Amino acid sequence: MPSKTSSPSIAWRTGPYLAIFVTVTALILFGAWALELSRSQDRLKPRSTSLAMELAPKPINQSIASELIKAGKLELAREIRSPLSTSVKKLNYDKPLQLGGKPEILYFGAEYCPFSAAQRWALVIALDRFGKFSGLREISSSPKDVFPNTATFTFYGASYKSKYVAFDMVEQFSNVPIEYHHQVGYVQIEQPTDQEEHLYNTLSNSPYTPDTAQPGSIPLLDYGNRFISVGSSFSPGLIQGRTIGSIAKSLATDAKDAGTIAIASTANNITAAVCALTGDTPARVCETPGVTAAKGAID
């Protein structure tokens, strides 16, 4: 995939989901803020190492990775029900979305967003059943947003390999808050391609956005143009305030934990959508009790 690293810009957070995009060039006209920006000029220059990586320099450790894989296997055998605020919905949009001859899943989110933070947990567990991630790193959502500092991963700088599906990851903005006149903005770290931006702008609005999601919401997940989910499938409050290690351990050992139930249920729903794209392969995943039960939750 070609590099999508962008020149820095700012997303101003003006509501639960929406942002107004303003370039740094325009913002430097503000004298006091420009002085502060100049002091961090090196930090904001585009380069091969992302700002997200600087703030979260360590990848997830092996114990966390092992617990996520263990959790993914355990939940396949369980028929889990959880009251989800946003589930996977059927989508009939354009022709099937493919990349490299495989069904493509598009993720569009941001590091600052606590709803993206929550959804990544289920997404990583689900997609680990079909392939393997490399380069995942630990971060937290913005300290200036709702559900502050929700522990999660970033997809920026990560890669994913699978013989079944392709996964296109767009983390458009960092989790680094920049404040000016009581507004909070975030540095852009990735520029979507024209196709990615077109899909997001189209599918994040009516008539494709589920009734439970506000137009323009993130995260957005497009499963091959056949299924869609917009927003987080569960409240980030179920995991907010916990460490990444604590959440991972609960996923692997505590089936009654509220966060475990929400993440596991969402992971199985996502898996059911992916199985619909792959023709129910591999059978070791798609024909398990957990995924079979979840297929009924996709409408």
User: Measured between alpha carbons, how far is residue 100 from residues 96, 103, 104, 164, 277 in Å?
Assistant: 13, 8, 9, 11, 14
- Beta partners for 22? 10
- The residues spanned by each domain of the chain are 55-171+192-295
Q: Do 67 and 264 contact (CB within 8 A), yes or no?
A: no
Helix (H) / strand (E) containing 112: none
Over its length of 299 residues, how does the chain's per-residue pLDDT go in tens digits? 444 544 345 554 444 443 333 333 333 333 333 333 333 333 333 333 344 444 444 677 777 888 887 888 877 777 776 654 457 888 878 889 999 999 999 999 999 999 999 999 999 999 999 999 999 999 999 999 999 999 999 999 999 999 999 999 999 999 988 887 778 889 999 999 999 999 999 999 888 876 666 778 899 999 999 999 998 999 999 999 999 999 999 999 998 999 999 999 999 999 999 999 999 999 999 999 999 988 887 76
pLDDT for res 211: 67
d(CA 234, CA 259): 9
User: How far is CA 81 from each of CA 71, 117, 264, 266, 272, rounded to the nearest angstrom?
Assistant: 16, 21, 9, 9, 14
What's residue 82's pLDDT? 60
Phi/psi of residue 252, nearest 5 degrees: -90, -15
SS3 label, residue 96: coil
Query: What is the reported pLDDT for 17?
Result: 40
Partners of 106 in the beta sheet?
168, 222
Q: How far is CA 13 from CA 21, 28, 146, 216, in A?
A: 9, 18, 11, 13
Q: Cα separation of 291 and 185, whole Å?
A: 39
Phi (first) and psi of residue 229, to 5 degrees: -135, 140
Residue 91 confidence (pLDDT): 87
Spatial distance between the Cα atoms of 282 and 89, rounded to a whole number of angstroms: 22
Task: Label residue 128 exposed, middle or buried (CB < 10 Å: 0-12, 13-18, 19+).
Answer: buried
Q: In the prediction, which pLDDT does 283 show?
A: 96
What integer pLDDT is reported at residue 298 of this predicted model? 79
**Chain-centroid distance, C-alpha 44:** 23
pLDDT attached to residue 87 = 73
Question: Phi and psi for 102 in degrees, rounded to 5?
Answer: -120, 150
The answer to whether the CB of 288 falls within 8 A of the CB of 73 is no
Q: Which residues pair with 180 in a beta bridge?
A: 183
Q: Which two tokens stand for residue 98?
A: 């493919």
The DSSP result for 17-74, as a single string, is: S-EEEEEHHHHTTSHHHHHHHHHTHHHHS--SS-HHHHHS-SBPPHHHHHHHHHHHHH
Alpha carbon 168 to its chain centroid, in Å, reads 11
Note the pTM of the prediction, 2 decimals.
Answer: 0.81
- Give strand pairing partners of 160: 133
Instruction: Locate all alpha helices (DSSP H) within the chain, ordered by sequence.
Output: 24-27, 31-39, 41-44, 51-55, 62-76, 114-128, 194-203, 244-253, 258-278, 283-286, 289-295
pLDDT at 183: 83
